[in-house]
Homo-oligomer: A and B are copies of this chain.
Amino acid sequence: MPSSPIRKLAPLAQAAKAQGVKVYHLNIGQPDLPTPEKGLEALRHITRKTLEYSPSDGYLSLREKFSGYYRQKGLDVSPEEIIVTAGGSEAILLTFMACLDPGDQVIMLEPGYANYISFSQTAGIEVCTVTSNIEDGFALPGIEAFEKVITPRTKAILLCNPSNPTGYVYSAGEMEKIRDIVRKYDLFLVCDEVYREFVYNGEPCTSALSLGIDEHVVVIDSVSKRYSECGIRIGMVVTRNKAVHDTVMKFCQARLSPPLLGQIVAEASIEGVEDYLKACHAEYKARRDFFIDGLNRIPGVVSPMPQGAFYTVASLPVEDAEDFCRWCLTDFRLDGETLMMAPAAGFYSTPGLGKNQVRMAYVLKIEDLRRCLRLLEEALKQYNNR
């Protein structure tokens, strides 16, 4: 098992903090925005006497709310097509275990969310990667790149749309290309759409659920980022494929139930939060505009303009970004402050790729992002003049 590139430097950050250093966390997608007040209110007014097991697929009342959410997006999803999980993380792992046998292959894009690899290893499945490139902003590679890695053991394509870590949003046209490969080779399309609400180019994100290939599609969703409630661990598997649904359910029965309290918060967070979502969207967009512009003004730093989520993968004028990230935590201080980034090599499977890149999450207030830009510029200067 590889260590998480997002969390592996955490001990160094802790050591810095123990020295009294302030560490700005750009490494992890932990939104700083508040959870909807309605979600917190639901906790404060809890009247239950016993915090008991919920159904293995989650409370029907919650699944009905999710169903309503999808209907608003123009997606016809029934409560029976939704299984509530312990975050998107569990949703991915259970989907892998339900759709693929050990030894089967799944195609992923790189750079990709590092924990996909961990879940693949847990499920005993092999990861084949198709590389997207910083030069074209991490757009979908041509179909031939997918066909090149497809073998008789290929069972699924995993897509994250909008993408973590690149922030790239796959267009309707790109999603149709994916649909065609999925159909042609009879694959599953596992689509992680947890950042669906955070798209900044004016177009709604094309859900895999709208592609007309229902039997092939499993969507991973989560309330974590949408409502700034990562800690409640509520995600879901959404599929119209009955066999996949039923197999995921068997795994769900073994682990008994998803978190009860998280379900209570999630259920209270879904409806009547249009203004909240609009405000979050505006805030992230403003941060993106500010932060990406600032990154590209630092000599030698190049960041594409991400169209979704709240991450970017940028290249730095260093040879070994992991060494630089470590050095920032162990050696670099500016007025008692430093910053933490995630080395991007951990988001690539192909050895050697992304060595000079980092993933950054713009989940801090603009004034903090301004400070991060200053810290990064100064750190690069000092690091390269050591």
Q: Measuring CB to CB, which residues of chain A are less than 8 angstroms from any residue of chain B?
A: 1-4, 7-8, 28, 30-35, 39-40, 43-46, 48-54, 56, 86-87, 89-90, 93, 97, 102, 115, 118-119, 122, 124, 228-233, 247, 250-251, 253-262, 265
Contact = CB atoms under 8 A, between A and B. Distances in A.
Nearest to A261: B261
Contacts of A228: 50-52
Contact of A233 (B40, B124, B259): B259
Contacts of A46: 40, 43-44
Chain A interface helix/strand/loop/mixed: loop
A231 B257 contact: yes
Nearest to A254: B118
A373 to B, nearest CB: 24
A118 B249 CA distance: 12
Q: Considering residues A50, A89, A118, which has the most beta carbons from chain B within 10 angstroms of its beta carbon? A: A50
A42 to B, nearest CB: 10
Contacts of A253: 3-4, 7-8, 115, 118
A261 to B, nearest CB: 4
A123 to B, nearest CB: 8
Contact of A124 (B45, B124, B232, B251): B124
A251 B50 contact: no
Contacts of A124: 102, 124
A34 B50 CA distance: 5
Given A228-B51, A251-B118, A259 B261 contact: yes
A233 to B, nearest CB: 5
Contacts of A48: 35, 40
A46 B253 CA distance: 31
A273 to B, nearest CB: 14
Contacts of A3: 250, 253
Interface centre among A35, A39, A56, A86 (most CB of B within 10 A): A86
Contacts of A251: 1, 118, 122
A158 to B, nearest CB: 15
A255 B258 CA distance: 14
Given A51-B229, A102-B102, A124-B124, 8 more contacts: A7-B56, A35-B49, A40-B46, A40-B51, A52-B228, A122-B254, A233-B257, A259-B261
7 contacts: A44-B44, A44-B46, A52-B228, A86-B90, A97-B122, A115-B255, A261-B261
Contact of A258 (B28, B102, B233): B233
Given A43-B44, A93-B255, A51 B28 contact: no
A262 B265 contact: no
B28 A49 contact: no
Given A43-B46, A56-B7, A102-B102, A231 B254 contact: no
Contacts of A250: 1-4, 118
A34 B39 CA distance: 23
B230 A259 contact: no
A87 B262 CA distance: 14
Contacts of A51: 35, 39-40, 228-232, 265
B254 A1 contact: yes
Contacts of A233: 86, 233, 257-260
Contacts of A90: 86, 255
Contacts of A50: 31-35, 228-229
A231 B260 contact: yes
